[in-house]
Amino acid sequence: MGGIPASSVIPCVAADPPAKEAAANQDHAAVLAGPRALSRAFRFAARKATPSVVTILSYGQAGLGKATNDGGDPSGQAKPNESQQESELEIDDKQLTGIGSGVIISPDGMVITNNHVITGAKRVVVQLSDETEIEATDVFGDPASDVATLRISRDEPFVDAGLGDSDAIEIGDWVLAIGSPFRLEATVSAGIISAKNRAIRRINRGRLIQTDAAINPGNSGGPLIDLDGEVVAISTAIATRNGGYQGIGFAIPINHAKWIAKELAAHGKVRRAAIGIRIAELSPKIAAKFDLPVGLGVLAYQVIDGSAAARGGIKPLDVIVEIDGEPIKDPSNLQAAVERLPVGSFQDFKIVRGEKEISLQIEIASIEDPTLTASKDDEVESSNSKSDSDTKVIAEEPRPEVEADQPQVDSEPDAS
């Protein structure tokens, strides 16, 4: 038998160890590329935003006693002890009663925080990221939105945060919460946008962003930032049963907070506009009841007699689809559009009435206008008319609320 030709013999040679190690390293680097890229993005955003984040120290808030970081409110404010006598609750401006966070939004020292952080304070001090303390001036708050502004000053400009576009963020986007939980300054936590357009009971103007980034007592007023290091929201509340973080936090969209801040800085209060209607979302149930397309616009289910809306021609069961060229899709969208309009100006409203599309000119009123409040006679009259008796059902059928210590995600129809 012939032997195997030499040319057919394949030598068995061991792989070069350095080459094998290099290939393994490349595979490992490929596996880590995603996490490392995300880690670098977190690092970049935190480094960019942290110098503009401050701690807010409130002194002399009546009825609060010594500041603690206990309780479900992420401001870190202490709750009054019900057994204390009224005289014991009288405190001076040297006693620290509230601790929260804030963010510098201009080089000249304008700071945004939460109203509940500074409300009732006799003195407010801002601690910078380098632990310098500066007493604040021009402290103004808006309870309806829970936004507050204050001023700090020094010779050199402050490091201010970049402000992003809260309308552009989407559910699932990464965000970082920065603040002083339990007075641990410049603490950063990561999470995502869990939901948008949330509502909670103690904030009756504006919808909120929900996030699972850890927000704890002391975080209130601190920024929620995107991966570009820009502020997209202001932390304001948590849903909790034990007083601490349970995965559900809420923040005020920065686009809304910016408008509130400008009003407070310029006028010391928020000048809101209104037209005097009660509104409801065209959900499938309500749309079917009135034979209207779902999501067509916002239903005006009650028009207050003598109000700006009534004078301009809006009637019950009209559907508002556009204001000054801006499409209107839901009640929060309408409320936000109306409240920022200049009082006394005339604005174009496009409505659908039956099968007709109608354009109206409405003179915008101030929310303090007494004609925007329905009288008892108006309510009796509206309940006696067929159209208003139909809409009355809407007002009595809000979707179920969650438990008292949880956020009110679905609420009664809004007023505007």
Confidence of residue 64 (pLDDT cuts 50, 70, 90): low
Query: Is residue 410's pLDDT more than 50?
Result: no
Q: Which of 73, 146, 369, 414 is catalytic?
A: 146
Q: Domain span at residue 129? A: 50-81+89-151
How many C-beta atoms lie closer than 10 Å to residue 34's C-beta? Answer: 9
Q: Is the pTM of this model over 0.85?
A: no
- What is the total count of domains within the chain? 3
**Catalytic-residue membership of 116:** yes
Give dist(CA 376, CA 357) in Å, integer.
32
Q: Is 211 found in the same domain as 133?
A: no
Which among 232, 267, 302 is the end of a domain?
A: 267
Q: Which of 73, 116, 145, 369 is catalytic?
A: 116
Please report the pLDDT score of residue 94 as a whole number: 84
Provide the CATH number for the domain around residue 142.
Answer: 2.40.10.10
DSSP 163: B
The predicted-structure confidence for 177-207, as pLDDT tens digits, reads as follows 999 998 899 999 999 999 998 989 889 888 9
Cβ neighbours for 166, distance < 8 A, ≥ 6 positions apart: 209, 232, 233, 253, 254, 255, 256
Please report the pLDDT score of residue 51 as a whole number: 97
Least trusted range by pLDDT, from 14-28, 57-71, 207-221, 356-370: 14-28
In a domain, 412, yes or no: no
Query: Is residue 220's pLDDT more than 80?
Result: yes
Please report the pLDDT score of residue 216 as a whole number: 92
Query: Is residue 379's pLDDT more than 50?
Result: no
**Catalytic-residue membership of 220:** yes
Mean residue pLDDT of the chain comes to 81
Give dist(CA 354, CA 350) in Å, integer.
13
Look up tokens 């060229």; give the residue. 325
Give dist(CA 115, CA 323) in Å, integer.
30
CA 78 remoteness from chain centre? 23
Q: Is 338 found in the same domain as 310?
A: yes
pLDDT over 90, % of the chain: 57
Q: Is 225 found in the same domain as 209?
A: yes
Q: Which two tokens stand for residue 216?
A: 């704890």
Q: Is 390 found in the same domain as 279?
A: yes
Give dist(CA 195, CA 174) in Å, integer.
12
The predicted-structure confidence for 118-175, as pLDDT tens digits, reads as follows 999 999 999 999 999 999 999 999 999 999 999 999 999 999 999 999 999 999 999 9
Q: Which of 220, 235, 307, 416 is catalytic?
A: 220
